[in-house]
Amino acid sequence: MSVADDIYRTLKGLVGLQDQMRRIETNLTEIGTELRNHRDRLVRLETKVEVYESLAQRRLPKP
């Protein structure tokens, strides 16, 4: 093997790693969006639960 072959394979490997990093970045961005959506949904559900608990407390007969 020549030095030129080694350099070529090294550069080819680096380009492959760069492509993998781009795909990972894209995936992480999509996951981040999904997590934010789930967080927002959980906050809305938590708010509903608090409202329902408050309504239930008001309707309970006082001892």
User: Given this model, what pLDDT does residue 62 score?
Assistant: 66
CA–centroid distance for 11 within its chain: 31
User: Given this model, what pLDDT does residue 10 score?
Assistant: 95
In the chain, which stretches have pLDDT less than 70? 62-63
User: Given this model, what pLDDT does residue 60 score?
Assistant: 73
* C-alpha–C-alpha distance, residues 17 and 19, integer Å: 5
Q: Which two tokens stand for residue 3?
A: 């030095």
User: Given this model, what pLDDT does residue 63 score?
Assistant: 63
Dihedral of alpha carbons 43, 49, 53, 59, sign: positive
User: Given this model, what pLDDT does residue 1 score?
Assistant: 74
Q: What pLDDT, in 10s, does the model give residues 29-43? A: 999 999 999 999 999
User: Given this model, what pLDDT does residue 61 score?
Assistant: 72
Q: Which two tokens stand for residue 47?
A: 């708010």
